[in-house]
Amino acid sequence: MDKIIFIGGARDYHAMDWYRTVKSICKTKGIIFVTDSIDGESFDRLINENDDIIELFNIDRFLFRKQSKYGNIWRNIVKLLVLPIQILCLKSIARKYPSSVFHAIPMYYMFLCMLARIPFIGTPQGSEILVRPYKSKLYRYFARKCLLAAKYITVDSVNMSNKILELSGKKAEIIQNGIDVDAILPMAIKNSIREHVVTLRGFTSLYRINEILDARERSNLKPKLHFIYPFIEESYKKKVEKKLKESDADLGRLSKDQMYKLLISSKLALSIPVSDSSPRSVYEAIFCGCCVAVTYNPWIEAISECMKTRLFIVDLDDKFWFDKALEYAEKIAKIPYI
């Protein structure tokens, strides 16, 4: 094995985490990240001078200036239009590094490797397996093709593994999402007043931001909310922003250190998506000492008991779940997380 070559979006936190983690572990190997996008649609630039980046045909300049529902559709169209160019670029890279392992994250880059006929490891994202195949027969067909083409598939939860087995008959390897304990613990042990309530997932319909705001409106306490999110659907935000209060803090995408500082001063984090695989940000909130209000998902059964005690399982049929979550958080957040 010559090098390990990741193929993904360089603005994707998960893909870059994979790349940097493997780079820190495999110090004797050359670790390269191949990408077609770095900072389009106003995404923060995640790469730095220490990263070994190879660009395919960069599509950033063809994308919308900001994230939106229509921007997502247009991005997918652009990716399909330039697919022949990307295949040629990827084949050229594969010829240059013939004894390398290619790891594609997420499904689009698995599709690209499949068309370029490059052996690859594939890591799909949660919604690509848990949601989209059940909304579109065409997507389901191509997803199955990509899964079957992969030499190995890695996922972050039993739920994902079971769905891949159902879709393709193929067994996926479970590699649980990790968190940077060395970065969190020195900050978490410091005394802090816990007062904030945070939503910490994407600002899209999948993460039920509208339902969170409705629940807050029914609350007797109606606390100020801090919104942090790695990505946003602008059209969805415009629909629900009239429910925001002037006191709410719309913080957007934070660095890891900024996020940890906020969570260490928070008593409650909210994460109630329609579907979920293995939510790293929830684990990070727990290690920062937060209580996290979540809807039930199978990943809950896989975590330790001490982590489970920080969770408040939300019943969305209960109109007053928000106040009940706050009440539980007031108690549990006073107890240091060990």
Exposed/middle/buried for residue 138 (C-beta within 10 Å: 0-12, 13-18, 19+): exposed
| pLDDT recorded at residue 43 | 79
Q: Where are the beta strands (DSSP E) in 90-203?
A: 101-104, 120-122, 152-155, 173-174, 196-199
What pTM does this model have? Answer: 0.82
Given CA atoms 115, 116, 121, 122 in this order, what sign does their dihedral have? Answer: negative
At 172, phi and psi to the nearest 5? -105, 145
- pLDDT one digit per residue (tens) for the chain, 338 residues: 689 999 999 998 889 989 998 998 888 789 999 999 998 887 778 888 889 999 999 999 999 888 777 888 899 999 999 999 999 999 999 999 999 999 999 999 999 999 999 999 999 998 899 989 999 999 999 999 999 999 999 999 888 999 999 999 999 999 987 888 888 888 877 767 899 999 999 999 999 999 999 999 999 999 999 999 988 888 899 899 899 999 999 999 898 889 999 999 999 999 999 988 889 999 999 999 999 999 998 899 989 999 999 999 999 999 999 999 999 999 998 888 88
| pLDDT recorded at residue 4 | 95
Cβ proximity of 195 and 260 under 8 Å: no
Single-letter code of the amino acid located at 211: E
d(CA 9, CA 16): 8
At 155, phi and psi to the nearest 5? -135, 170
Other CB atoms closer than 10 Å to residue 250's CB: what's the count? Answer: 14
| pLDDT recorded at residue 116 | 97
| pLDDT recorded at residue 191 | 64
Spatial CA neighbour of 206 closest among 110, 286, 105, 132: 132
Single-letter code of the amino acid located at 16: M
d(CA 3, CA 247): 50
